Structure 1
Amino acid sequence: MSTALPMNSSAETSKSARSLGVTGRRTVGPVLLLALLLAVPWLPTFWVNLLNNIGLAAMATLGLVLLTGVAGMTSFGQAAFIGLGAYTCAWLTVGTDVPGWLAPIAGSPWLALPAGLLVTLAVAAGLGAVTLRLSGHYLPLGTICWALALFYLFGTLESLGAHSGLTNLPALQIGAWSLDQPADMAWPIWLLLGLALVLSRHLLDSRSGRALRALNGGQAMAESMGVPVFRTKMAAFILSALLAGVSGWLYACNQRFVSPAPFSVTAGIDVMFMALIGGVGHLWGAVAGAVVVTLGRNGLQDWLPSLLGQSGNYESVVFGLLIIALMHRAPNGLWGAIHRRWSRRVDPRRAQPAALPAAAPLPRRVQPTRGQPVLEVRGLTRRFGGLVANKDIDLTLHAGEILAVIGPNGAGKSTLFNQLSCVDHPTSGEVKFLGQSVLGWQPRRMAAAGLSRTFQHVKLLPSMSVLDNVAIGAHLRGRAGLLRSALRLDRAEEARLLGEAQRQLERVGLGALSHVEAGSLALGQQRLVEIARALCADPSVLLLDEPAAGLRLQEKQALAELLRKLRAEGIAVLLVEHDMDFVMNLVDRVAVMVFGEKITEGLPAEVQSHPKVLEAYLGVDL
């Protein structure tokens, strides 16, 4: 029997549309940027100032898109990091108490840029080390706290001009060209924004970008695939802060005056609005949101007083109502709506995803000798307060063996899986992997040692392609970091990682759906994607939590054949499953759990006739 599983060809439309949509965006963006810069000399000064403000806001918002839309962490402190970049530039160029050891860079806005980025990096690293350990609603509340602290610090320090700020900053100079006019500053603002967009696109299209996105799919999943969760969160936080710092430096050079007011928590909320309105999941959403918020507020400030005949902050009221209406009509933001409409207009027959470049296969790990114990569990007990989820469980899994753990709902099977993969830790007992105790290990270390898993509830990134979802599983088989990825120096490694992901997709029968968004697949296909992702890690032990749930008969047969081939390769498979026909015709041994305890273990035929199993699980009336 072939291991190719049936595929759903109806998803081809989504695949082709998405492919052409990405190509179109990459072409349109640089053309619009070039046209904008060429038009600047003919625009009135008022509009040039608006364009510069949009560019500055878009730079800071881009950082928030990476932090919130990509990595899934909400921050209201982006304006504070803008302030760090701006104040560092102002203090170094016009400050009166700059220490002597900084004298070589004092007075130069260009040298103030790296200095500002270093200050921003140091502050962001310190704040992130504390703030990013918070979760849920405590994380955004934490960002509000330090944003308030930095805002009041800017207005308190006399060396920063207190509430009066710092004035008479020198203009940027490029040779004899002094960038002292708004039209001159448009070039560095928009060129740096364009560069940031390009580097961000490169970053997301890489191993490091997939690690950032994996944070949005659940930290347990990310760490089980080998992603260093806290380090990756710190990288996203610092990268977001650095983009805000660049925006602050440009702001100081453009205004040539810095005071605390633009860097308040309210300004940070405005940046969040820009990200949400533009599309927090899209890089170009940062530009779209900056355009809408900047032009919208400016227009309302001019229009409402003439309509109402009085002054006031009515523009904030009306603008807030418009934001609510927009979020109802376009919950994914303006750029998300544009992307969706663009995709619908694409003829799928005219667009095909680009073929993956040829690449050498990734090296494989040496598998344990067939029959060798690879996973040993002795006296495993897990208590949650007064609830005993697992009690004195003993299990042994051998290389080249398929062992099933069955039991009714609530038997503690998923709790057992979490302890074996170190997502959770036992209250007592011992777990050994390849003869080594894993007590106290983290999931990432287990993944590196050769244990990979799927989840009872599918954990995929629905807006990412199937191929990228699977490639997350190969994270530990690559080495390229953020800088190499952003500079496109990782292409050879990236080709090998994606090639491995494609091979595993073909192995489970989904090779033709590699460029479809994972969220568009049926549940059964999504489970197969999870299996392909687990195989992408090149495991010695594979933990499968209900792999056949949602599969049709033919798909189950093909999956069973695939698992037999994995067993023949020496891979050990431990699975939890409720489909008894699937289990009994496939596995070598069966362990039965009831109320957290193992009641029996043996060959499938023996277990099927065991009185306790018949009573507890296989349909005998109690």
Structure 2
Amino acid sequence: MKPALSPRVVLGAFMLVLLVAPLVMPPFYVTLLNYIGLYALVALGLVLLTGVGGLTSFGQAAFVGLGAYTTAVLTTATELPAWLAWAGGSPWLALGVGLVFTATVAFVLGSLTLKLSGHYLPLGTIAWGISLYFLFGTLETLGGHTGLTGIPPIALFGFELTEGRHIFYLIWVFLLAAVFTTQNLLDSREGRAIRALKGGMVMAEAMGVDTARSRMVIFVIAALHACASGWLYAHLQRFVNPTPFGLHIGIEYLFMAVVGGAGQVWGALLGAGVITIVKQWLQDILPQLFGQSGNFEVIVFGLMMIVILQRAREGLWPIFARLVPVKVTRRTLDAAAEPLPKKPLPARGEVILEAKEVTRKFGGLVANNAMSLSVKAGEILALIGPNGAGKSTMFNQISGVDTPTSGEVLFLGKPVAGRGSREIARMGMSRTFQHVKLLPTMSVLENVAIGAHMRGDKGVFPAAWRLDRAEEARLLNEAARQIERVGLAEHMFDAAGSLALGQQRILEIARALAADPCLLLLDEPAAGLRFKEKQALAELLRKLRGEGMGILLVEHDMDFVMGLVDRVVVMEFGQKIAEGLPEEVQQNPAVLEAYLGGVE
């Protein structure tokens, strides 16, 4: 096994190569590196959007076109409207205008497109990508299909970047700045919210993440990366026409992100480099091989994509990382960080949750019929019943995943029926899930820190530029405290997916506790647990009850429930058939009939 290298050594060597490359390489290869940098900037946005956020876009080339055409028009037009004349003639002012314009367009398109899901989302990006492409070629002010010429070079400190080796450094400064800010963003509260999108909207919203906002954030950031690439491209080429901004180029950008490693920040650079170099080789070799000219490289790329999707779905970056191993720096916790503020728990015995006559109908099916229950602070209430009794539906009515057809749900004396999961979670209700919803490649610490999302407020810009470190230390310390509280301290830095099922369920409880709730909703937490794990879980729940936490427990394991809870509510066919102490419910004829099919 090769010895792992320090990240600083690898980065230093890479920076040195970039510094020397344009001084020693022929102009052709410098140009090739320039295009790799431009393409990688767009692919980086797709890594954030598609690889991390799970949103597939085929339209990024259109955003490149917005950046290119904005600067082309502003720097070549002889007459501009009075309100825009101040930006005329200056590439740097044109960059600012282009970024604002692109962000605005992206926000409008995102507001329409991001409401779509499944295969409709990529189809939507294809639709506006094609529309913008034809718009570029149709408007006379943009030069039609002929394009715009005479774009001036970028001037930096009075020096004009007229040659490829001159603009080389600017392109790579833009790319490296985008790489580092993206890495910083992902290593933050905002970044965990973005990564939580892949864990499912229900889970993310239950942890207080505004999923619509997070989706819009990465959509706009990806568009801004593409805009900056278009700006650089226009001043490198000194000419623009619609050809580089079509749908086929948008697909190529997505191909770069996937080939490099759609979930890896540095994979964008690797993918752009591999595709650009291989494309150049194929364009030189294949016509000679076949004896005629043609776009044969497209066929090869199609086959390559199929092979990669079958054999290396994580892209080439994991393979490259094994060839050049880099030491992984374990995150350190700041013991001196100030603890997060905690809300006072309600007085023991106070009713914190009350459901009154809750009915939920799905067409002709009545899933919950006039269901009522209440939970007090410092109490564990079990909601039990046979499969199909309507327990999960009731759970969803309480937690905000669904809205009752009629009836009322009060939490801390306030009606919550019809409110979203995020708003209810902010009030002090937190939950786990019947089927574990974790981010398996993230560490235990980071998964639990998602639960503390609502207890921070630093946004995208502070995260990207490392201005959120004090708050981040407090959030991670809180996550570590909850991990220790549930007995998983030795696994704090392990990947969540490496834990046994029982430990994953305990991890979900730690994540819920990180939100500082006064009421825990646990959906079958003992499912799949071994005897010792159930004992540990029961001990944890007793400890939480002793601290004054209210707990609503949906469970099938009667032995686990009856030895733990204070009261039991039994459901069958959507209705409550019994309520009382565990020993009373166990003797109830209606309950025995529901579970055993009858009594003698």
Q: Same fold (TM over 0.5)?
A: yes
SS at match of 2:145: helix
Correspondence 1:207-222 to 2 at 5 A: 207-222=189-204
Equivalent position of 2:84 in the other structure = 102
How far does the alpha carbon of each residue in 1:374-397 deviate from its partner, in whole angstroms, 9 at most, with x for none? Answer: 111111111112222111101011
Correspondence 1:26-175 to 2 at 5 A: 27-175=9-157
SS at match of 1:112: helix
Gaps of 5+ in 2: none
> Does the 8 Å CA contact 2:46/2:257 hold for their aligned counterparts?
yes
Of 485, 497, 513, which aligns to 1:519?
497
| Structure 1 residue 504, shift from structure 2 partner | 0.7
1:482 and 1:78 mapped to 2: Cα distance? 21
| Structure 1 residue 410, shift from structure 2 partner | 1.5
How far does the alpha carbon of each residue in 1:240-263 deviate from its partner, in whole angstroms, 9 at most, with x for none? Answer: 111111111111111111111100
| Structure 1 residue 36, shift from structure 2 partner | 1.9
Equivalent position of 1:391 in the other structure = 369
Letter of the aligned partner of 1:145 in structure 2? Answer: A
- Asked if residue 180 in structure 1 is aligned to residue 162 in structure 2, the reply is yes
- Asked if residue 559 in structure 1 is aligned to residue 559 in structure 2, the reply is no
Closer, same or farther: CA 487–532 of 1 in aligned 2, 3 Å:
same
| Structure 1 residue 49, shift from structure 2 partner | 0.8
SS at match of 2:116: coil
Equivalent position of 1:356 in the other structure = 333
> Does the 8 Å CA contact 1:590/1:607 hold for their aligned counterparts?
yes
Gaps of 5+ in 1: 1-16
> Does the 8 Å CA contact 1:63/1:243 hold for their aligned counterparts?
yes
Equivalent position of 2:592 in the other structure = 614
How far does the alpha carbon of each residue in 1:480-525 deviate from its partner, in whole angstroms, 9 at most, with x for none? Answer: 1000111111111100100010111111111121211112222111
Correspondence 1:83-482 to 2 at 5 A: 83-339=65-321, 353-358=330-335, 359-482=337-460
SS at match of 2:346: coil
2:174 and 2:441 mapped to 1: Cα distance? 28
How large is the Cα RMSD of the aligned pairs?
A: 1.8
SS at match of 2:355: strand
Q: How many residues align?
A: 598
Letter of the aligned partner of 1:434 in structure 2? Answer: L
> Does the 8 Å CA contact 2:210/2:422 hold for their aligned counterparts?
yes
2:54 and 2:398 mapped to 1: Cα distance? 27
Equivalent position of 1:6 in the other structure = none
- TM-score, L = length of structure 2: 0.97
Closer, same or farther: CA 578–30 of 1 in aligned 2, 3 Å:
farther
Letter of the aligned partner of 2:206 in structure 1? Answer: S
> Does the 8 Å CA contact 1:543/1:574 hold for their aligned counterparts?
yes
| Structure 1 residue 417, shift from structure 2 partner | 1.1
1:461 and 1:515 mapped to 2: Cα distance? 13
SS at match of 1:542: strand
Worse-superposed segment, 74-83 or 103-112: 103-112
2:249 and 2:63 mapped to 1: Cα distance? 11
2:7 and 2:441 mapped to 1: Cα distance? 17
| Structure 1 residue 588, shift from structure 2 partner | 0.1
- TM-score, L = length of structure 1: 0.93
Letter of the aligned partner of 1:481 in structure 2? Answer: G
How far does the alpha carbon of each residue in 1:576-614 deviate from its partner, in whole angstroms, 9 at most, with x for none? Answer: 111111111110001111121111111000111111211
Equivalent position of 1:10 in the other structure = none
1:38 and 1:98 mapped to 2: Cα distance? 41
2:395 and 2:88 mapped to 1: Cα distance? 59
| Structure 1 residue 340, shift from structure 2 partner | 6.0
> Does the 8 Å CA contact 2:398/2:417 hold for their aligned counterparts?
no
> Does the 8 Å CA contact 2:397/2:417 hold for their aligned counterparts?
no
Letter of the aligned partner of 1:126 in structure 2? Answer: V
1:619 and 1:279 mapped to 2: Cα distance? 55
Letter of the aligned partner of 1:263 in structure 2? Answer: F
1:106 and 1:114 mapped to 2: Cα distance? 12
| Structure 1 residue 25, shift from structure 2 partner | 5.0
- Asked if residue 497 in structure 1 is aligned to residue 475 in structure 2, the reply is yes
Of 577, 581, 588, which aligns to 2:566?
588
Letter of the aligned partner of 2:376 in structure 1? Answer: H
Equivalent pairs: percent with the same residue? 60
1:122 and 1:30 mapped to 2: Cα distance? 37
1:132 and 1:24 mapped to 2: Cα distance? 40
2:50 and 2:11 mapped to 1: Cα distance? 22
1:483 and 1:24 mapped to 2: Cα distance? 28
| Structure 1 residue 551, shift from structure 2 partner | 2.1
SS at match of 2:529: coil
User: Which structure ranks higher in relative contact order (CA pairs < 8 Å, sequence separation ≥ 6)?
Assistant: 1
| Structure 1 residue 290, shift from structure 2 partner | 0.3
Closer, same or farther: CA 320–380 of 1 in aligned 2, 3 Å:
same
